[in-house]
């Protein structure tokens, strides 16, 4: 039992740790230049106008407000096509949770099947991966609609989030291709290549989730 589970868990932890350490050691993601300058000028103006700390309002702006960490500040398009793309992109945060949950469920079932030595637990994972793949491609397309085309002033987190998010659906597709059909998987354990790809996919999902929070809520959003 331990021989089957240990490579999955240790490989996932090692890969996640390496990628996370590289991202965390990099400089914090910068917001768009115009947002950074406007935020800095607003802070400077506030510091000069408030002389007594007791007179300052006890209000805190959300991190998602303009100039408070968001890397994307969308202006409403004027054309119908532009507004349609913008509206579709707004669905990205909702749709992305569907393929993420399916992949993590697949990984959990694979670990459970290895621990109990019962391949029947993960026999239906090919069907789950099919839905996850379809949802992954939909979420990636909506992500491009939400973020727009790459720009020179895109922050580090947004750039990594964009391209990792573009890669992940193809990793899902590879997993679906490697997973044996239910009739075969019910009696045979998963292949090593499939297990390795699954570990990589879960690690990418965890890193992508962190980057998504970094883009939405600003650098250091997971600080304790």
Mean pLDDT for 87-105 is 92
Rounded to an integer, what distance in angstroms lies between the CA atom of residue 130 and that of residue 18?
29
51/21 same-domain check: no
53/125 same-domain check: no
In a domain, 223, yes or no: no
Rounded to an integer, what distance in angstroms lies between the CA atom of residue 16 and that of residue 200?
9
Checking if the pLDDT of 92 tops 60, the result is yes
Look up tokens 């202006």; give the residue.
75
Tens of pLDDT along 187-201? 888 889 999 999 999
56/98 same-domain check: no
87/59 same-domain check: no
134/37 same-domain check: no
Range of the domain at 65: 33-70
39/100 same-domain check: no
What's the confidence (pLDDT) of residue 75?
Answer: 67
55/145 same-domain check: no
Rounded to an integer, what distance in angstroms lies between the CA atom of residue 185 and that of residue 121?
9
Checking if the pLDDT of 67 tops 80, the result is no
Checking if the pLDDT of 3 tops 60, the result is no
Among 70, 88, 120, which residue terminates a domain? 70
Checking if the pLDDT of 109 tops 70, the result is yes
130/53 same-domain check: no
What's the confidence (pLDDT) of residue 173?
Answer: 97
Q: Mean pLDDT score of the chain, rounded to an integer?
A: 76
Coil/strand/helix, residue 64: coil
Checking if the pLDDT of 221 tops 50, the result is yes
Among 70, 96, 129, which residue terminates a domain? 70
Checking if the pLDDT of 50 tops 70, the result is no
66/115 same-domain check: no
Tens of pLDDT along 167-192? 999 999 999 999 999 888 888 888 89
Instruction: Indicate left, alpha or beta for 117 from its phi (over 0: left) and psi (-120 to 50: alpha).
Output: left
| Count of structural domains within the chain | 2
What's the confidence (pLDDT) of residue 223?
Answer: 82
User: Model pTM?
Assistant: 0.65
DSSP-derived secondary structure for 161-224: HHHHHHHHHHHHHHHHHHSPPHHHHTTSPPPHHHHHHHHHHHHHHHHHHHHHHHHHH-TTTT--
In a domain, 14, yes or no: yes
127/58 same-domain check: no
In a domain, 183, yes or no: yes
Among 15, 44, 70, which residue terminates a domain? 70
């Amino acid at each position: 039992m331990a021989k089957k589970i240990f490579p999955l868990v240790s490989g996932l932890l090692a890969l996640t740790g390496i990628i996370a350490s590289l991202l965390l050691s990099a400089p914090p993601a910068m917001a768009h230049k115009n947002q950074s300058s406007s935020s800095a000028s607003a802070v400077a103006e506030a510091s000069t106008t408030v002389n007594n700390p007791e007179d300052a309002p006890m209000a805190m702006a959300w991190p998602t407000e303009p100039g408070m960490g968001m890397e994307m500040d969308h202006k409403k398009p004027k054309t119908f096509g532009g507004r349609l793309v913008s509206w579709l992109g707004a669905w990205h945060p909702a749709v992305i949770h569907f393929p993420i949950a399916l992949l993590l469920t697949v990984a959990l079932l694979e670990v459970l099947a290895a621990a109990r030595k019962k391949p029947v637990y993960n026999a239906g994972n090919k069907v789950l991966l099919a839905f996850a793949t379809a949802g992954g491609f939909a979420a990636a397309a909506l992500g491009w609609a939400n973020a727009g085309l790459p720009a020179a002033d895109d922050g580090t987190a947004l750039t990594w989030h964009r391209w990792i998010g573009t890669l992940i659906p193809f990793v899902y597709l590879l997993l679906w291709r490697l997973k044996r059909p239910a009739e075969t998987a019910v009696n045979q354990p998963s292949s090593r290549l499939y297990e390795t790809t699954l570990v990589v996919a879960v690690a990418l999902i965890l890193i992508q989730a962190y980057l998504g929070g970094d883009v939405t809520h600003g650098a250091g959003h997971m600080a304790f």
